[in-house]
Amino acid sequence: MAKQINPTRMELTRLKRRLKTASRGHKLLKDKQNGMTKQFMEQIRRNRSLREQVEAALSAASGKFRAASSSMGEPELYEALMLPAGEVGITGDVNNVMSVQTPKLISDGGLSGTLPYSFAGTSPELDSAVLSMIKLFPLLCELAECEKTCDMLAAEIEKTRRRVNALEHVMIPDMQRNIKFITMKLEDNERQNITRLMKVKSVINDR
């Protein structure tokens, strides 16, 4: 690549400016990568905690539904749950995490405390199970938001890593080699010019 460039002082100045810009960009990207990695690890820990909470709540609710089914019978349980408990609205917003636009889910709490059936003929276990699932909904939204954030941060970290590697292992070394080649070429030309001038001077003096 060095032999394909024009070994002039103008090209040398241009390459030095590009190298300075690339080095500064490499540092900024490296800092961004480190910052995103830190945020990613925090989100991973948060995701693990949320998932444990959701799984524990689902397990408890499942046990309550089994208890309700035992006391009421499965046909009665299915009949009681045939109608929806209501509607819930979710609005979307964004969080800015290290310049990555991650999703934010906001529930309007429309299902809060709503039971889709009459209390007559149903068991308290069913009430407890349905209410626990209603309370779990915001946590499920938070878990979905966290998992999507983790996916987006992982993709952005990988993209940034490729850019950092391209600068660090390809572009910056190539520019450094080209700068070295041009510098050596210019120094060689300078030596040749000095040699010619000395020969001319010697010829003039011999006359």
E strand or H helix that includes residue 112: none
Mean pLDDT of 1-24: 86
Of the pLDDT bands very low, low, confident and very high (cuts 50, 70, 90), residue 159 is very high
Higher pLDDT: 178 or 123? It is 178
pLDDT > 60? residue 76: yes
The interaxial angle of helices 172-206 and 9-72, nearest 10 deg, is: 170
CATH hierarchy code of domain 2-193: 1.10.287.3240
Percent of the chain residues topping a pLDDT of 90: 45
Higher pLDDT: 2 or 90? It is 90
Entry pTM: 0.76
Name the H helices within the chain: 9-72, 74-80, 124-166, 172-206
Higher pLDDT: 63 or 121? It is 63
* Residue ranges covered by each domain of the chain: 2-193
Short-list 146, 157, 160, 152, CA closest to 42 = 146
